[in-house]
Structure 1
Amino acid sequence: MSSSPFFIPVDLAHTALLLSDVQTQILKRFSPEIQKQYLDNIKTLLGFFRDEISQRRSNQDTAIRGAPYEGVPLIVHHTLPFNINSNSFVSPYNKLSKWVKQLEDAGYFANAPSDPHHPYYGIPDEIVPPGGWGGKDEIVLGKLQPSCFGTSDLQSYLRARGIRHVVLVGLTTMGSILGSARAGADLDYHIICVEEGIVDDDPEIHKFLMSKVLPKFVDVVELKDILGLQL
C-alpha cells in the first residue's frame, strides 16, 4: 500500500484553492501550447473545487446553515493588478522593477487602466467563474508583491473560512509560488503545490525547486492526488 502524498490528511471542508498570478500578462510569456495545457490543468482543478462547493452547498446540514461558510471550500484568484497607479508600487530598489519595465515595454499593460478604484486583474476569460464574480465561494484579490501572504487581505478571508489547507498553483515557480509557499508554511498553513498547476520560464529551475527545495517545506503533489480527495 503506497503512502499518502500529503504529510497530514486533507480536510476539504477547510481547504482553499489559491491561484497565484494566473493572469494574461504573465501567461503571454509562454508558448501557445504551454498556455493551453496549463489552462486545461487549471480548469480541471477549478472544476473539481467548484463541484465540491456546489455539492457541499446543496448538502449543507440544517444545523450549520446559520454558519454559511462552514464545511465549504474557498477559491481565491490572487493576481497583481498591473498598472494600478501606473505601477508606482514597484520600488526601484526591488530587482523586479526591471521585469515590470520589460512587461511595460512589451505592451502587456495596454488594456490595464491605471485607475486604483477599478483595478484590472487580468484573469483569463476561460477561468472566470460561471455567471461572473460576486459569489462568496470564489473571489478575486489583488496584491502588490509576488507573495500571496505579503500585501493583501488574503489571511482575513482564510481565517474567516477556517482554512487550514491551501492548494497552491500559479505562475511562476521561482516567483510567486516559491515566495507564497514559504510564507504560507511559515504562517502554519498546510501548503500543497500541484505539479501540473505550476510552470516557470526555466524548466530546469522549475524541476529543481519542485523536487529539491519546496518539498522541505510543503507538499508537492500531482493533479490526480487532488482529484482523488473525497467528500
Structure 2
Amino acid sequence: MNNTALLAMDLQAAMVSHIRDAGYLPRVRRAIDAARAAGIPVLHVVVGFRSGRSDISDRNKAFSGLPEGAFSPGDPNAAIHPDVAPRPDEAVITKKRVSAFAGSDLELVLRSGGISHLVLAGIATSGVVLSTLRQAADLDYQLTVLADGCADPDEEVHRVLTEKVFPRQAEVTTVEEWAKTAR
C-alpha cells in the first residue's frame, strides 16, 4: 500500500486567475501526472460554502467579505481549473476555511487510506499551503512541499515560506525533482 498522497489545493478558477506565471499549471499538472503514474492518490482540495452562507461567520475576516454566492454550489469560479481537473475516481475534499483540514473530511480520507506522507501543492503558499502544512505537522504527517507547485500573489512571501519556514517541518523540493522519485 502506498502511504503517500498528493494534495492539489485550491486550484479553482478564482484562485488560478490571479497567477501570472504561465508555467504554473503545467508544473502542477506534471506533479499530478507523476503521482498518478506512481499510484500515489491525488486528493483535490477546494474551498466551498453552503448556499446562503450559513457556514461563514461575520467574524471571519478572510471569508466574510466574499460576495454572495462565492464558492457556493453553481459558482463557476469555484470549479477546479480544467488543466488540473480530477479524474472520476479521485477524491475532492471540500474545506470551509484556509487549512485543508478545517471543516473537511480530509483526515478521515487520509486515515482510511493509510496515508502518512503528504505532498503539498496549491494556491496560495501563504494560505492553504501554510495552514495545511502547520496542521499536518502537528498531526505527525511526513511532509513534502513542491515549492514551484505552490504560488502566492506575493513572491517575497512565497520565497520566505519555501526557503526559511517550510524546511523546518517539511522537505521542500521542485516538481521535477519530486516527479523523478515519486513512488
TM-score by length of 2: 0.89
Aligned to 1:45, the other structure's residue is in SS state helix
Aligned to 2:150, the other structure's residue is in SS state strand
| Aligned equivalent of 2:74, options 113, 118, 124 | 113
What is the alpha-carbon root mean square deviation over aligned residues? Answer: 2.5
2:23 equivalent in structure 1? 37
Aligned length, in residue pairs = 183
| Aligned equivalent of 1:94, options 45, 60, 77 | 60
Superposed displacement of residue 45, structure 1: 0.6
CA distance in 2, matches of 1:40, 1:51: 16
Q: Does 1:47 align with 2:33?
A: yes
Q: Give yes or no for contact 2:118–2:144 (8 Å, CA) kept in 1.
A: yes
Structure (1 or 2) with the larger CA radius of gyration: 1
Residue 15 of structure 1 aligns to which amino acid in structure 2?
Answer: T
2:105 equivalent in structure 1? 153
Superposed displacement of residue 88, structure 1: 3.5
Give unmatched runs, 5+ long, in structure 2: none
Q: Does 1:194 align with 2:157?
A: no
1:78 equivalent in structure 2? 45
Aligned to 2:48, the other structure's residue is in SS state coil
CA distance in 2, matches of 1:148, 1:91: 18
| Aligned equivalent of 1:203, options 127, 151, 155 | 155
1:14 equivalent in structure 2? 3
Residue 152 of structure 1 aligns to which amino acid in structure 2?
Answer: S
Superposed displacement of residue 150, structure 1: 1.9
Identity %: 29
Give unmatched runs, 5+ long, in structure 1: 1-11, 54-72
Superposed displacement of residue 93, structure 1: 1.2
CA distance in 2, matches of 1:212, 1:74: 28
Residue 18 of structure 1 aligns to which amino acid in structure 2?
Answer: L
**Higher relative helix content:** 1
